[in-house]
């Protein structure tokens, strides 16, 4: 839940523009990379992130705590990445001939891989996890966010963050261990 504590600038419009530009410069690349952990196509990631900034600007009146903006942006990016992946999955099911959305590293033989391919296999396994587990692990191991901040970003409790992280790591270890 976003804070409703407010500190209105003298000129909201001008101050808002400056804030948005600062946020854009500061967080754009980090957010694209966060999205790229979940979505393979970097062009799509950039679209998702720019959409998140547009959503922030259009919903600025609802977001009165400037400190909450980064968490809000992360939340929007993750939500839109999740929606994108679901649409993509539906599209794949509807038309299996479509050749352009292929995820790498499905069913790879981990034992025979060098380190790079092993890391790709780990990333592919991460992408196959349930949504929340995948997002918790991405926020923890990419951004090194503390549990409280992950909870704030995803709108869940700190206890749920711990649970998702534990289950996600266990599932990853199991899947990678099970591969021949």
Partner 1 sequence: MTTIEQELRDAISERTDHVHAEAPPEAVLTARVGAARRRRTQRRAAALSAAAALVVAVAAVALVERGDDRDGVVATQPSTEVPTTAEAEGDPGTEVPETATTTTEPPTTTTAPTTEPTTDTTVPPGPVAPAAGTYVWPASPSDFGTDPVETARRFATTVLGMVDVVATERAAGPDVDHALVDVSPNGGTAHPTVVRLDHISAGPDGSGRAWYVTSAETDQIEVTTPDTGTTVRSPITLAGTSLAFEAQVNVVVLPVGASGTTTPYGQTFVMGGGTERAPFSGTVAYSAPAGTPAMLILSEGDASGRSRILRATVIPIVLAG
User: Given the rule CB under 8 A, which of 7-15, 62-70, 155-163, 165-173 is the region that contacts partner 1?
Assistant: 165-173
From CA 30, how far away is CA 142, in angstroms rounded?
Answer: 9
Minimum distance between the CB of residue 75 and partner 1, rounded to whole angstroms?
18
**95 is a contact residue toward partner 1 (CB under 8 A):** yes
Nearer to partner 1, 1 or 94 (CB): 94
CB 36 within 8 A of CB 44: no
Which residue lies nearer to partner 1 by CB, 3 or 55?
A: 55
Shortest distance (Å) from residue 82 CB to partner 1: 14
Task: Rule CB under 8 A: choose which of 3, 5, 9, 54 binds partner 1.
Answer: 54
* Total residue length of the chain: 180
Other C-beta atoms closer than 10 Å to the C-beta of 132 total 19
DSSP string, 19-51: HHHHHHHHHHHHHHHHHHHH-S-HHHHHHHHHH
Q: How far apart are CA 88 and CA 73, in angstroms?
A: 22
What distance in Å separates the CA atoms of residue 19 and residue 11, rounded to the nearest whole number? Answer: 12
Q: Which part of the chain contacts partner 1 (CB under 8 A), choosing from 7-15, 44-52, 61-69, 156-164?
A: 44-52
Q: How many angstroms separate the CA atoms of 103 and 54, rounded?
A: 28
Footprint on this chain of partner 1 (rule: CB under 8 A)? 20-21, 24-25, 28-29, 32-34, 36-37, 40-47, 50-51, 53-54, 57-58, 84, 87-88, 91, 95, 97-102, 104, 116, 118-120, 122-123, 126, 137-138, 141-142, 169, 172-173, 176
């Amino acid at each position: 839940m976003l804070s409703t504590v407010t500190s209105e600038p003298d000129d909201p419009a001008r101050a808002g523009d400056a804030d948005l530009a600062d946020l854009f410069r500061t967080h754009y690349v980090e957010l694209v990379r966060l999205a790229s952990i979940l979505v393979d196509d970097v062009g799509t990631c950039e679209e998702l992130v720019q959409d998140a900034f547009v959503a922030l600007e259009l919903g600025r009146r609802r977001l009165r705590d400037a400190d909450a903006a980064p968490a809000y942006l992360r939340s929007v990016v993750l939500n839109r990445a999740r929606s994108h992946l679901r649409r993509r999955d539906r599209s794949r099911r509807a038309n299996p001939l479509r050749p352009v959305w292929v995820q790498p590293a499905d069913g790879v033989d981990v034992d025979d891989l060098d380190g790079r391919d092993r890391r790709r296999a780990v990333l592919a396994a991460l992408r196959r996890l349930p949504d929340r587990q995948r997002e918790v692990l991405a926020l923890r191991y990419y951004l090194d966010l503390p549990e409280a901040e992950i909870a704030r970003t995803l709108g869940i409790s700190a206890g749920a963050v711990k649970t998702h992280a534990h289950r996600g790591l266990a599932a990853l270890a199991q899947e990678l261990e099970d591969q021949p």
